[in-house]
Structure 1
Amino acid sequence: MLATNELTSAQRDDLRTIAAMIIPASDEYKVPGADDPAIQADMLVTLGRDTAMVRAALDHLARLAGKPLAELDAAKRDAIATEFRATGGVAAATLVRVVLQCYYRDDRVLRSLGLELRAPFPKGYTLEQGDWSLLDPVRAQPAKLRRAP
């Protein structure tokens, strides 16, 4: 029986397949795809509270495909991915978030973006100031939550 934070072999294969579809490798920018073994290992060890949702998303993908996604050719994978985006709901969003989160903390990816390989705290990162007036329509709406005492 699987531990609560583990995926089956077929689910791991499908995770690798869909991750490569979400973020393919780029020779131009010299970065790996999200199917890179190091990035995949990071995903598997950090799933934590997202494991159930990622499992649900991978199971949904397999149901749509009629078999493991990894066993389909590229054209059929693309068709299944399109349907998955439309019907996957919160589980699909969770899967995509996990892939993005693990990809964008890989050292090779950070280097390609010109970012220092360090935690954001305590030095922080400088953000350019944006146009705060874009929030005026939101600020003009009536309060939806009660104020704290």
Structure 2
Amino acid sequence: MSDSNELTSAQRDDLRTIAAMIVPASDEYKVPGADDPTIQADILSTLGRDAALVAKALDHLAKLAGKPLAALDNARRDAVAKEFRASGGGAAATLVRVVLQCYYRDDRVLRSLGLELRAPFPKGYVLEDGDWSLLDPVKARGGALRRAP
């Protein structure tokens, strides 16, 4: 990789292929897959601090596949994806998180979910009251969290 935020052409191709496997397009819900050009552009432009881990995940995926992921038949591609999930560790989890975060902020996807196309702030979203006692173990730790500078 020439720049920490740039993926190689082969990595971008594998990213597009694995993204489509993570979230395929749906005619039923009228939403694109995560391989959609707009979603892919969002992923690539917002990699930031995740770029190195995503590149590591894509390199691991390429090693498992032995050739471009798109060149594999469906059965072999599914087997590689299964092995990738099992052996990819934190890098694979980062790749999946990046794909999902960009997918679920796409206007077409939000619209299909019936969500208002706006930023969550300043209006915010209403959350149902939950069981606040779940935070008791955290509160019991006292000042165990580091202080901001």
Instruction: Evaluate the alpha carbon distance shift between residue 16 and residue 140 of structure 1 in structure 2; reply closer, same or farther with a 3 A threshold.
Output: closer
Deviating beyond 4 angstroms after TM superposition, the runs of 4 or more aligned structure 1 residues are none
Q: Give runs of aligned pairs for residues 1-149 of structure 1, distance below 5 A.
A: 2-132=2-132, 135=134, 139=137, 143=141, 146=144
Give 1:139 shift: 2.6
Q: CA deviation at 1:67?
A: 1.4
- 1:146 & 1:100 partners in 2: Cα distance? 32
Query: Matches of 2:27 and 2:36 in 1, distance apart?
Result: 14
Shift of 1:128: 2.0
Distance, in Å, in 2 between the alignment partners of 1:4 and 1:147 is 31
- Give the Cα separation in 2 of the matches to 1:148 and 1:140: 13
**Structure 2 residues not aligned, in runs of 5+:** none
Give how far 1:131 is off.
Answer: 3.9
* Alignment CA distance shift 1:18-1:144 (3 Å): farther
Aligned AA (1:146)? A
Aligned length: 147
Q: Distance in 2 between matches of 1:106 and 1:90?
A: 25
Structure 1 residues 148, 104: closer, same or farther in 2, change over 3 A? closer
Shift of 1:142: 6.2
CA shift, 1:147, in A, is: 6.8
C-alpha RMSD of matched pairs (Å): 2.2
Matches of 2:24 and 2:129, distance apart in 1: 31
Identity %: 77
Q: Which blocks of at least 5 consecutive residues in structure 1 are unaligned? A: none
Give secondary structure in 2 for the equivalent of 1:139.
Answer: helix
TM-score if structure 1 supplies the norm length?
0.89
- Taking the aligned partners of 1:22 and 1:45, their CA distance within structure 2 comes to 19
TM (norm. structure 2) is 0.89
Which amino acid in 2 is paired with 1:49? Answer: R
Q: Distance in 1 between matches of 2:5 and 2:130?
A: 40
